[in-house]
Amino acid sequence: MINEEIKKRLVLALDVEELDEAKKLVDELSPYIGTFKVGLQLFCGYGLEIVNYIKEKNADFFLDVKLHDIPNTVEKASYNVIKNGANFFNVHATGGIEMMKAAKKGAMQAAEKYNRKKPLVLAVTVLTSINQETLTNELSNSKNVEDFVIQLAKNAKLAGLDGVVASARELKAIKKELGNDFIVLTPGIRPSWSAKDDQARIATPKSAIEDGADYIVLGRAITKAENKIEAIKKIYEEIQGVNK
Ligand code: C5P
């Protein structure tokens, strides 16, 4: 029996080269995964073909496009993202409050027009690839990274966005500052039995959920596992019983 409460929290990153590989993952894993995340790699390669495939399986679809442009352009792009079937997507909080408001406006308009469920618009605060040195020296920002993340998350909430993408390290602080209803989607998830790969700020599925993550992004821990279904089942077992 699939636990629907757990299923809904699991987001699988379809970070693969070929459309066929992505389709195979969707075929195999859609009984266990609530949302499939399509990033720029797959989207720029194959566009809406994969979207339609995901929709046919009745799974949710997260378009990880990290929009960042002038408000008018972002509003129109957001409209099209929802029109074309995404349930949620993201924008860069560094695009500013007006831009984030425009994203939400475009998304809501499309949802209403096409009778879609309420879209979730998330903000990316500071990319995990940006460290303190880059922020200070390259981007001339004197704030420390953690404070900047919180400030951008506050801006996202002010703009009416639904939540943020944040690493496990920032999870507790964001929930504390922004409240429990403000959604946090957490990548960098590594069960204790899987390889760390190139991720620096990692957490196990259990600790991320315990610390308040609403969604956890599973990538290579599943897609590179010898037995993907067994790997997911282990994650289900691990999360089961966490009170949230
Ligand atoms: O394979 P892995 O679990 O590392 O995949 C993590 C996914 O989450 C990738 O799609 C990656 O782009 C995304 N992500 C991330 N760190 C962020 C934002 C997104 O790893 N800060």
Q: What is the pLDDT of residues 226-235, one digit of tens each?
A: 999 999 999 9
Does 197 contact ligand 1 (Cβ within 6 A)? yes
Of 228, 201, 209, 187, whose CA–CA distance to 62 is shortest? 187
Instruction: Report how far residue 171's alpha carbon sits from residue 204's, in angstroms, rounded to the nearest whole number.
Output: 13
Instruction: Report how far residue 178's alpha carbon sits from residue 176's, in angstroms, rounded to the nearest whole number.
Output: 6
Confidence class for position 243, pLDDT limits 50, 70, 90:
low
Q: For ligand 1, pick from 217, 224, 232, 235 the residue to mutate: most ligand atoms within 8 Å of CB.
A: 217
Where b means 16+ CB within 10 Å and e means fewer, 172-206 reads ebbbeebeeebbbbbbbbbbeebeeeebeebbbbb
Q: Are 13 and 38 in contact (CB under 8 A)?
A: no
**Distance, CA 190 to ligand 1 centroid (Å)?**
11
Count of structural domains, the chain: 1
pLDDT at position 202 is 84
State both tokens at 156.
């996202």
pLDDT at position 244 is 57
Residue pLDDT, tens place only, 203-224 = 999 999 999 999 999 999 999 9
Residue 24 lies in a domain: yes
Ligand 1 closest atom vs CA 190: 3
Global pTM value: 0.94
Residue pLDDT, tens place only, 6-47 = 999 999 999 998 999 999 999 999 999 999 999 999 999 998
State what percent of residues in the chain have pLDDT above 70: 99
Give start and end residues of each alpha helix (H) in the chain: 4-9, 19-29, 40-46, 48-56, 71-83, 97-113, 132-133, 145-158, 168-178, 205-210, 220-223, 228-239
Residue 12 lies in a domain: yes
Residue 170 lies in a domain: yes
Catalytic residue among 66, 76, 101, 143: 66
Residue 98 lies in a domain: yes
Residue pLDDT, tens place only, 56-69 = 898 999 999 999 99
Does 205 contact ligand 1 (Cβ within 6 A)? no
What angle (nearest 5°) sits at the alpha carbon of residue 138, between those of residues 135 and 143? 30
Residue 153 lies in a domain: yes
Of 206, 160, 151, 207, whose CA–CA distance to 183 is shortest? 160
Higher pLDDT, 169 or 108: 108
State yes or no: pLDDT of 181 exceeds 90: yes
User: How many other CB atoms are there within 10 angstroms of residue 151's CB atom?
Assistant: 15
Task: Summarize the confidence of residues 45-60 as an average pLDDT.
Answer: 89
Task: Summarize the confidence of residues 79-90 as an average pLDDT.
Answer: 95
Give the structural domain span for 228: 4-239
Does 66 contact ligand 1 (Cβ within 6 A)? no
Ligand 1 closest atom vs CA 39: 10
Query: What sign does the dihedral 19-21-26-32 (CA atoms) show?
Result: negative
Does 220 contact ligand 1 (Cβ within 6 A)? yes
pLDDT at position 9 is 96
Residue 244 lies in a domain: no
Q: What CATH number corresponds to the domain at position 167?
A: 3.20.20.70
